Structure 1
Amino acid sequence: MKNSLLYCLAAASMALSFFFERSPDSHLRNRTNAPIIAEASLLPDFSGGKEHLAASASYRDSLAYHYYSQTLGLNLAYTENKDLLRTVTDWLGTPYRYGSNSKKGTDCSGFVTRVFKEVYGITLQRSSRSMFQNVQRVAKDEVKTGDLVFFRRGPGQPIYHVGIYLKDGKFAHSACNGGVMVSSLNQAYYHRNFYAAGRVETE
């Protein structure tokens, strides 16, 4: 009886050993049709110390900048403010809603105030006209990433719209006909109604 019990335990042990040695490998191959080592090679190698960690971080930064470049339609130098690019990307597609500033809906000044609060920790005035009164004027050909761009519908008309300049003549804003998006200052409508650019002191 004692020997029979030992034989049963030994047989069960062998079966379990075979299952745990073989099952994960065959399951992974059936799911991906690729060797396990191919997946493992995609993971960062932390065995080389600080150099490998730095290389891994640089690689992740490159991937992030590439994603923002594709998503926002910009030619990036990979030195731009990554927090700004990420925040604008996160807000893309938010619907327009007058008087609101959440991801359920936002108007142009609401979008700008939220981005500046999240990226720079700065609280801006709530309306585009008030914002314009508190910025340093910048020539159109000297506008930089993070500057504000203001629009009006003709001489003597009040400012009615504001956006955040990104790069390559493009700016992020919340438009009443499409929500948060990236547009170009060279588009006929925005080229015609562009009024001024302004810089907020962020340091």
Structure 2
Amino acid sequence: MTIVPVNERVLAIAQTWLGTPYRHGASRLQVGCDCLGLIRGIWRELYGTEPEDAGTYSRDWAELTQDEPLISAARRHMHLKPLSDMQAGDLMIFRWRDGVAAKHLGIMAESNRFIHAYEGHSVTLSAVVPQWRQRIAAVFAFPESC
């Protein structure tokens, strides 16, 4: 039996979500998801159940807190990596602007691209252009098992 590394499994699962419509707070393949819902769906396929309840959240939740809920949750369940070690299958967390909690998520793909969902679009593959790269707040690797 061949064991496929977790980062390759993450990327393969993320690719199945391409084209899933954007739906705030949702996490259903080909039905709808937001950026967190995409990561939740990948996690469920990898490990069976989500590690904690995401609860409900408003579109402007990051503007209402000084905490870092996404980064804190990722630290509890994943492995923090230096940006320089980022590879396909890693979780990318983005901060839109200084002084506000990081609030966007994506999965690094090959060829300097990443998979993510954002309002007004379906789950899509985007280039990691300088405007995206400068907003990366943290990078995490999925665990081999949970």
**If the length of structure 1 is used for normalisation, what is the TM-score?**
0.52
- Kindly state the Cα deviation for residue 160 of structure 1 after the two structures are TM-superposed: 0.8
Q: Is residue 117 of structure 2 the alignment partner of residue 199 of structure 1?
A: no
- Kindly state the Cα deviation for residue 169 of structure 1 after the two structures are TM-superposed: 2.3
Quickly say closer, same or farther: Cα 1:178–1:187, change in 2 above 3 A: farther
The 8 Å contact of residues 95 and 101 in structure 2, kept in 1 or not, is answered as yes
Q: Is residue 54 of structure 2 the alignment partner of residue 112 of structure 1?
A: no
Q: Which has the higher helix share?
A: 1
- Kindly state the Cα deviation for residue 106 of structure 1 after the two structures are TM-superposed: 0.5
Alignment RMSD, CA only?
A: 2.4
- Per the alignment, residue 63 of structure 1 pairs with none
Q: Is residue 138 of structure 2 the alignment partner of residue 161 of structure 1?
A: no
> SS of 1:98's equivalent?
coil
Q: Report the count of equivalent residues.
A: 122
- Per the alignment, residue 143 of structure 1 pairs with 86
Q: Distance in 1 between matches of 2:88 and 2:50?
A: 18
Quickly say closer, same or farther: Cα 1:167–1:122, change in 2 above 3 A: farther
- Kindly state the Cα deviation for residue 120 of structure 1 after the two structures are TM-superposed: 4.2
Question: Percent sequence identity over matched residues?
Answer: 25
**If the length of structure 2 is used for normalisation, what is the TM-score?**
0.70
Gaps of 5+ in 2: 1-6, 56-68
- Kindly state the Cα deviation for residue 196 of structure 1 after the two structures are TM-superposed: 1.3
Could you give the per-residue CA deviations for residues 134-191 of structure 1, whole angstroms, max 9, x where no partner exists? 2322111101232110011222210111111222322211111312011122252x12
Q: Is residue 94 of structure 2 the alignment partner of residue 94 of structure 1?
A: no
Higher relative contact order (CA closer than 8 Å, sequence separation 6+): 2
Could you give the per-residue CA deviations for residues 86-140 of structure 1, whole angstroms, max 9, x where no partner exists? 4323211111110111131111111111112213446244386153332322111
- Per the alignment, residue 76 of structure 1 pairs with none
- Kindly state the Cα deviation for residue 85 of structure 1 after the two structures are TM-superposed: 4.2
Q: Which runs of 4+ in 1 moved over 4 A?
A: none
Gaps of 5+ in 1: 1-79
Structure exhibiting the larger radius of gyration computed from Cα positions: 1
The 8 Å contact of residues 94 and 179 in structure 1, kept in 2 or not, is answered as yes
Q: Is residue 106 of structure 2 the alignment partner of residue 186 of structure 1?
A: no
Q: Distance in 2 between matches of 1:147 and 1:159?
A: 16
> SS of 1:175's equivalent?
coil
